[in-house]
Amino acid sequence: MTVVALIVAAGRGSRAGPGAPKQYRQLGGEPVLRRTLSTFAAHPGIDAVLTVIHKDDRAAYETAAAGLPKLLPPCPGGETRQASVRAGLESLTGLKPARVLIHDGARPLVSTALISACIEALDTHRGALVALPVTDTLRRGTDGMAGEAVSRKNLWRAQTPQGFHFDAILEAHRRADDNAATDDVELATMAGIDVSMIAGDEDNIKITDAADMARAARILARGGEPRTGTGFDVHRFEPGDHVWLCGVRVPHSAGLAGHSDADVGLHALTDAILGAIGAGDIGKHFPPEEMKWEGAASDIFLAHAGNLAARAGARISNLDVTLICERPKIGPHVEAMRDRVAEILNLDRTRISVKATTTEGLGFTGRSEGIAAQAIATLIFG
């Protein structure tokens, strides 16, 4: 296992006012924590997600996390944030991840691009801090009166995620004498870990009180920029006993001819995602003249497109593919196809649609000479 996201969600959120802890309150129709977990679970660079929770919140956590992929069983937290992070890190020692991204559960608007930047920074440094420069004038105050100005030069506002080589940050926590650290970079720098700076995001707010919740709702309402892409693919029949469609092996009296496994469904979906991010088509990334792709499973192509989308700062909102053929029958396999596409891209299956139609005996598909597929992808940037 390479990269684990450690989500810290054991606090009680008392400043948010009466009611459930802030990480379990509704934001745009979903619990705050679910939005956080969803973003990390959907990121192709994250292999697993561990959440540190309060011992009394297990039921609320299960509701918030229901159905999400990559989630490890939650870990009980400690009395302070530092103690909770330490507990989470210790629980991961059996997995031995190379890297860990530590993130506040109450920062639900973290972007895929920010996660990608944090992971990539760990290629050259043992630590990475997401932060924003201080731009406001700083001034000391005494008894409600304005005092001297404080230079804002070289001052930054720390955010999360904060990324580290796992062994290094675990050792830093084990060496710490008290529970006073407010973030993990403080412990890292004390331990001599080199921490690079990454430009943060003003929308990556931490929800602390009711005003923050209202601001997060406004950011959500503003939304990101949607972009769409389309894909179309055709393969003719050849002798065989099965075809691959949307990642599922479907028994048939013929096979499909192609350089790879000729999965028209995955090829169309791949082109749709690539089109939405302006990255060309499948042939640009996997040239058919390169023999290493001969007979390749098309899930490689779709996963690659998903990775490119994440690095471009986009998340996949939904995918819709239509398979066009007289035979084989697609209906019995639709749900398995949805599950497989969702698995390849680490998406909730509700974001995947697979349909089938015929051409009423017209054209090459009507003559049962092959199968066609067309797809559309909607991605959200920002």
Strand pairing partners for 380?
226, 315
pLDDT in tens, 310-363: 888 788 999 999 999 999 999 999 999 999 999 999 888 899 999 999 999 999
Overall number of domains in the chain: 2
Last residue of a domain, one of 193, 222, 251: 222
What the block records as the tokens of 349 is: 């299956």
Nearest residue to 112 via CA among 308, 251, 274, 298:
308
Cβ distance 375 to 341 under 8 Å? no
Last residue of a domain, one of 176, 191, 222: 222
Mean pLDDT in the chain? 93
Is residue 14 classed as helix, strand or coil in its secondary structure?
A: helix
pLDDT at 284: 93
Do 87 and 23 sit in the same domain of this protein?
yes
Range of the domain at 260: 225-381
Whether 364 has a pLDDT exceeding 80, the answer reads yes
Do 59 and 104 sit in the same domain of this protein?
yes
Do 266 and 348 sit in the same domain of this protein?
yes
Cβ distance 33 to 108 under 8 Å? yes
Strand pairing partners for 354?
321
CATH no. for residue 37? 3.90.550.10
pLDDT in tens, 215-255: 999 888 787 789 999 999 999 999 999 999 999 999 999 99
Nearest residue to 264 via CA among 295, 233, 301, 236:
233
pLDDT at 13: 67
pLDDT in tens, 119-165: 999 999 999 999 999 988 888 898 888 989 888 888 999 999 999 99
CATH no. for residue 299? 3.30.1330.50
User: How far lies 134's CA from each of 151, 181, 267, in Å?
Assistant: 10, 21, 46
Last residue of a domain, one of 186, 202, 222: 222
Predicted confidence band of residue 19 (pLDDT cuts 50, 70, 90): low
